[in-house]
Amino acid sequence: MKNQEDNYLKKVPLEEVQEYFDIPNFRKFQQPIIENILSGNDVMAILPTGGGKSICYQYPALKLPGITIVVSPLIALMNDQVKNLEDRNIKGSACLNGQVSQKKQKQILLDAVSGKYKILYVSAERLLSPKFMRCAKEMKISMLVIDEAHCLSLWGYDFRPNYLNILRFIDMLKERPIISAFTATASQYVKNDIIELLKMKEPYQPIGEYKRENLNLSIGWRKNDRGKKIALHAYIKKHRNEKGIIYCSKIEKVKSVYENLKKKYDVTIYYAGLSAEEKTQNYEDFKSGACKLIVATNAFGMGIDIDDVRFVIHFDAPDSLENYYQEIGRAGRDGKPGECILYCCSDDRKKSLAISQKKMKSIIFNEAQIDLLAELRKSRQNMMFRYENKGQNKKPSSEELTEYIDWYFNEFTLKEEQLSKDEELKNTILNKLDSIDVLYTNETKIARLMRKGDYETDIWQTVKTGRKSKGSEEVSFNIDKQLTYFDLMVADAVYTLQAWGKEKIYPKNILERLSGDMTVTLKTEKKSRIIASLEKMRTTNISIDRSQSMGSFALEKDKNLSLLKGAFLPMEKPSKNGYLLTDIPPLYKYAELNNGQIYAIPDVRLCVQESAEKKMPNSMENLMLKHFLARRRYMANPSKNPNKSNSRASRIIRFEHDNKRRKGLFDILQIEQPDNPALWKRKRKTLYLKIKEILDYYLDSEWINHYQFIDENAQLIDENDIADAIQNGQRFRGVKLVLGDKT
């Protein structure tokens, strides 16, 4: 841990910060944090809510030479931070989130690359989007800030798997930026997790006090919810001109309390189920004072920056002291007195301890690990119960309650048996971080034609691109050899490795990417097949003429590139089995220029497991089947607009040609058909069983809602009859993936 008094730190006087920010004095730790960052040191700061953490990274961001990327979990927080900077007449900040139009997002990215911005706020999910990755590589990123950093840790009360993408993003950059992480709530083991998962280098680690002198804490026990509502009305009646938040643990209670209060008071509401427009409007109504009260779940939590909240009332207790401390931190941010009241009754204890499986979707945990997570949640909840119990038979002082919170964050530790299992779970996370999701170009029409084999060699072919409503454009391409589906899979793997900064590429690296399995064994047959594919593609030439479709998103240095040509994979071979990609391949360069039409399929979708958690063998045929089905599933996303009559909630995958002579799965993958009819019958049966195995895995993983086989008469087969149909060697035409109801 670096000492804040170290002489080598760049000194920053208060007057210099006051040129940008209207602060009378530094708050505790602000100055040493700023000085450490400007001296090039990583920072892991635990500062109480209202501790002024924004200035700790905003001021250095304005002084550092490049751009600062701030990873934030909330749209409201991003928008507030940018607006606050603009209100101070500080230019050069922007945010990328779902409320920003696609057109404006593209312009923000181009402006960020050109150096217009000093601070760019993004979500963890966006970091690894292909378009953002492409632009980030061209930016001079001086600092990466992780706000609400406890979301990164598995032990954190609000763990978000997408935060694990941050380390991948750092590894992708040409130069490692300064890393600074901030949170208001982190125990010792959460803090250590954050440092390890971000690979921080001897970070400065200030820990602020959890005691907020201006907050008065109290607990009120009542017999039931009716008693709570009576107490709530009595309190609000006395403080009706003050701004306050009422937190409830469930949406049903939020609605009930809201309906009860709106009869007498100007009140608004906030929870996850509201539309983005409703959330924004209700938030603004409360912030402006149009409504003095807001009833909310903890969705109205992290990053809410409203100074004049005078009271926070919990209608019932949250799941953990971490949540509770975050939420009471909304009160008294202006330094004036704030009241924090927790209402309790015995019925509140009847809560579910089931761990949310949805949060674990992007990581593979076994049942023992899930049980450990449930234990941890139960342990946190029990500590909240202990806090509530302090007010059951007596009226504890605010000082006594504050001391308990301080003890919990600074001294409480996990049980020994929980800590002993920590390494296993941490290794699971770190192994996941080592994997790289494969990138694809399927969204370009050239790539689609090539994957189907629907093109001729050595002649120029023109395809129409763009939306018909806006007028079609044309792009032409010429390729001198026929490439197979497997060749293009290998090309995707090579491009992925290059995109993630892998300089020298070996056949085993490619097999790991294609299988999604970092433990896969490279056997002679697979090695020979991959090398043959690489050799073929680096001697195949392709030209793409995009002169008739130059209006797409493009970086300044690339926007005038009308003709892309060269080897399909421009590679050198500096060693026997090692390859070096010397440039972005023309097809992938075109995909990047064509509105960034590259997307990723997570490794977890390729590493297919049977019900007994046994991995599906990585034969060439299996690899192709997994990639084909994963890609088609990705392309079958249903329309987000349920009112659109043409919304597509499913995709038909054809095994063989139908009457319209569309290519089928067997044709596209060039699955060999034995001459012997009996052997072909057995082969078909095996293929159907493999497809069923993959789709069952997708079903268990909730990646599809349902699937149905289609027989040779184009009739759907009842799912209960599939097993018998396969056993009887019934001929199938295809399978229908169902992703959700159109409504």
Span of 70-79, 331-340, 510-519 with lowest mean pLDDT: 70-79
- What does the alpha-carbon distance between residue 665 and residue 662 come to, in Å, rounded to a whole number? 10
Mean pLDDT of 636-654: 56
Closest CA to 197 of 152, 234, 138, 239: 152
Q: Which amino acid does the sequence have at 616?
A: M
Residue 357 in this model has a pLDDT that exceeds 50: no
pLDDT, position 229: 92
pLDDT, position 598: 79
Interior angle at CA 202, CA 196 and CA 207, nearest 5? 85
Mean pLDDT of 208-219: 87
Span of 434-438, 585-589, 622-626, 710-714 with lowest mean pLDDT: 434-438
pLDDT, position 300: 84
Mean pLDDT of 283-307: 86
Name the β-bridge partners of 562.
none
Strand, coil or helix: what is 321? helix
Per residue, the 3-state secondary structure of 613-665, as one string, reads CCECCCCHHHHHHHHHHHHHHHHCCCCCCCCCCCCCCEEEEECCCCCCCCCCH
Cα dihedral 693, 698, 700, 704, rounded to 10, equals: -130
Task: Identify the structural domains of the chain with CATH numbers, from first to last.
Answer: 14-197 (3.40.50.300), 215-424 (3.40.50.300), 435-603 (no CATH), 608-743 (no CATH)
* 21-74 pLDDT per residue, tens: 988 899 889 999 999 999 999 999 998 776 788 999 999 999 999 999 999 887
Residue 143 in this model has a pLDDT that exceeds 80: yes
DSSP state of 161: G
Give percent above pLDDT 90 in the chain.
Answer: 38
Name the β-bridge partners of 94.
120
Residue 508 in this model has a pLDDT that exceeds 90: yes
Give all strands of the β-sheet with 706-711 in edge-to-edge order: 650-654, 732-738, 706-711
pLDDT, position 641: 43
- What does the alpha-carbon distance between residue 1 and residue 206 come to, in Å, rounded to a whole number? 9
Q: What is the largest CA-CA distance in the chain?
A: 89
Rg (CA), the chain: 29
Q: What is the pTM of this model?
A: 0.79
* 307-331 pLDDT per residue, tens: 899 999 999 998 888 889 889 988 9
